[in-house]
Amino acid sequence: MTVTEALKARISTRAFLDQPLTEATLRDILDAARWSPSGGNLQPWKVIAVSGAAQEAVKQLVRNYQGPGMFPDEEGAYPVYPANLWDPYRSRRYKVGEDLYALLGIGRDNKPGRLKQLAKNFDFFGAPVGLFFVIDSRMGHGQWAHLGMFMQSVALAATERGVASCFQELWGTMRTTLKAHFQLAEHELLYCGMALGYADSAAVVNTLRTEREPVDRFARFHFD
Ligand SMILES: Cc1cc2nc3c(=O)[nH]c(=O)nc-3n(C[C@H](O)[C@H](O)[C@H](O)COP(=O)(O)O)c2cc1C
Atom of ligand 1 nearest to the CA of 118: 11
What residues line ligand 1, using a CB cutoff of 6 Å? Answer: 11-12, 14, 96, 121, 166-170, 192, 210
Q: Using DSSP bridges, classify how beta strands 46-51 and 129-136 pair: parallel, antiparallel or unpaired.
A: antiparallel
In which band, very low, low, confident or very high, does the pLDDT at 70 lie, cut at 50, 70 and 90?
Answer: low
Domains of the chain: 3-75+124-208 (3.40.109.10)
Q: Using DSSP bridges, classify how beta strands 164-168 and 129-136 pair: parallel, antiparallel or unpaired.
A: unpaired
- Dihedral (CA of 54, 73, 143, 216) sign: positive
pTM of the complete model: 0.96
Atom of ligand 1 nearest to the CA of 171: 8
Q: What distance in angstroms lies between residue 201's CA and the mean position of ligand 1's atoms?
A: 18
pLDDT in tens, 37-54: 999 999 999 999 999 999
- What does the DSSP 8-state code read for residue 96? H
Q: pLDDT at position 71, please? A: 81
Q: What distance in angstroms lies between residue 113's CA and the mean position of ligand 1's atoms?
A: 19
